[in-house]
Amino acid sequence: MLNKTCDLFISELGSNAPVPGGGSAAALVGAVGIALGTMVGELTTGKKTYAEYEEEIQQLIGRSRVLTEKMKAAVKKDIESFEPLSDVYRMPNTTAEEKAVRHEAMQKALLPAAEAPLELTELCVEALEILDRYSEIGSRLAVSDAATGSVMCLAALKSARLNVIVNTKMMEDDELRNRLDARADEAMARGSEISRVTYERVENKLIG
């Protein structure tokens, strides 16, 4: 999916095709967000002004690159996890037997459809933690990029959480639904607070 041009991806996103959808878009936005963090690191490393943080910056760059690849993989994973559910919606739903078969298939398809965006919420939290640190020790010339990346990863997190909920709300297994929702809510709460701190820190650095 990511081998396609941006124009083609956006064109398909804006079509009536079931995929790519919001989950894939969120993953791509998250990948762009953490990639901005990597840029901050690359613009900081090797600079005498930040020599005391050189080792940590190198570690952050490594973590950022790994996360970028995971986010990129999440674009494809979201598509693959949604396709079985998309197939369910096309199943016949007229007779009692057809409805029963369709219902059972849907319950099975909901879990992977919810797990993919759930994993993305947790990747976003890790990305936000890294971006927050970049905003503290990264080059002042690129500090706005750290905040921009944070805003993007928070948007990806919020979107991913909604994609969890849209699937869990149809689950009949209350324990499973509550467990998945709780993980998404926890990621949302933590990520929102981290991003708030990052944004305020950068705003204060820029405005004074």
CATH number for the domain including 46?
Answer: 1.20.120.680
pLDDT of residue 17: 80
Spatial distance between the Cα atoms of 175 and 147, rounded to a whole number of angstroms: 37
Q: Containing domain of residue 198, as a range?
A: 17-207
Question: For residue 105, is it within any domain?
Answer: yes
Judged on CB neighbours under 10 Å (0-12, 13-18, 19+), 13 is: middle
Q: Which residue do the tokens 């057809």 mark? A: 98
Q: What's the mean pLDDT when you consider all of the chain? A: 94
Model pTM?
A: 0.92
* Percent of the chain surpassing pLDDT 90: 83
From 13-17, 49-53, 99-103, the region with the lowest mean pLDDT:
13-17
Q: How confident is the model at residue 3 (pLDDT cuts 50, 70, 90)?
A: low
Spatial distance between the Cα atoms of 48 and 95, rounded to a whole number of angstroms: 73
Question: For residue 1, is it within any domain?
Answer: no
Q: How confident is the model at residue 118 (pLDDT cuts 50, 70, 90)?
A: very high
pLDDT at 13 over 60: yes
Mean pLDDT of 184-205: 98
Question: For residue 4, is it within any domain?
Answer: no
Question: For residue 2, is it within any domain?
Answer: no
Cα dist. 195→156, 159, 175, 188, 204 in Å?
12, 15, 30, 10, 14
Counted domains in the chain:
1
CB 79 within 8 A of CB 1: yes
Question: For residue 33, is it within any domain?
Answer: yes
Question: For residue 46, is it within any domain?
Answer: yes
pLDDT tens-digit map of 60-100: 999 999 999 999 999 999 999 988 888 998 999 999 999 99
Spatial distance between the Cα atoms of 116 and 78, rounded to a whole number of angstroms: 6
Question: For residue 12, is it within any domain?
Answer: no
